[in-house]
Amino acid sequence: MALVFSSGSATSGPRSASKILNAARDVLSAQGYPALTIEAVAAAAGVGKTTIYRWWPSKEALVADALAEIFRADEIPDLGDTHAELRQAVDMTIDNYTNEDMATALPALAASLLPHPELMTRFRETFLHRKRENIAAALHRGIQRGDLPDDLDTDLVQDIWAGTILYRRLMTGSPLDTDLAEHLVQLTTKAPPLLPRRESPRTSR
């Protein structure tokens, strides 16, 4: 993974990039996003803070590169089984947000980049596009197999999947378990039940 958010102006490149990015994730885990200061990362990495300022223009850029290294955007292999492939897609998204750092830092990052269109574009390229393309490929295979409606809105499906997972992790705190994964997959299938039902009917609050 290249340092997409690094300045990278000079001719060679940072010698201690991975040491710094590891330290950034360590600080993130131990102290949380607000306490992640450049000076703290420098201390944790055993590095002069000058070195960090040399290569990353801001705390946001540093965090983005640190997260990009552990963000999963795998290709979904053709398993000949639409359900299994979609389940793999959902599981990958759940994996990404199960990570504590990712769950807190990604939304904080997006929120602070939102007013800066150019940085936001780079953020989307790093954390959205590749993953979405790979999942879209799996969805299209499902459509061609006749397992999914041929006018399926693949973008909306992915918004629903990732949105629900992010929302549960960030806001409600509900578990990201296999039931959720299965419900989200079943949302896309042709036949009912299209909307997930509760396992055991309860009175719901």
Partner DNA sequence: CCAGGATCGATACGATACGTATCGTTACGG
Partner DNA sequence: CCGTAACGATACGTATCGTATCGATCCTGG
Q: How far apart are the first and last CA of the chain?
A: 46
Q: Using CA atoms of 58, 130, 74, 174 in order, give the dihedral in degrees to the nearest 10.
A: 70
Which partner, a second copy, DNA, none, binds residue 80 by CB below 5 to 8 Å per kind?
A: none
Q: Any contact of residue 13 with a second copy (CB under 8 A)?
A: no
Is the peptide bond preceding residue 193 cis, with omega within 30 degrees of 0? yes
Q: How far is the CB of 158 from a second copy (least distance, A)?
A: 9
Q: Report how many residues bind a second copy under the rule CB under 8 A.
A: 59
CA–CA dist 188, 194 (Å, integer)? 7
Cβ 176 vs Cβ 165: under 8 Å? yes
CA–CA dist 19, 120 (Å, integer)? 26
Cβ 141 vs Cβ 82: under 8 Å? yes
**Contact with a second copy (CB under 8 A) among 36, 44, 67, 166:** 166
DSSP secondary structure code for residue 102 in this structure: H
Task: Closer to a second copy by CB, 17 or 136: give it.
Answer: 136
Q: List, in order, residues 6 or more apart from 128 with CB less than 8 Å away.
A: none
Q: How far is the CB of 48 from a second copy (least distance, A)?
A: 25
**Contact with a second copy (CB under 8 A) among 27, 61, 157, 185:** 157
Task: Closer to a second copy by CB, 15 or 197: give it.
Answer: 197
**Contact with a second copy (CB under 8 A) among 57, 163, 175, 178:** 163
**Contact with DNA (CB under 7 A) among 16, 29, 104, 134:** 16
Instruction: List contacts with a second copy (CB under 8 A).
Output: 32-34, 103-105, 107-108, 110-112, 114-115, 120, 124, 127-128, 132-133, 136, 139-140, 149-157, 159-160, 162-168, 170-174, 180, 183, 187-188, 192-198, 201, 204-205
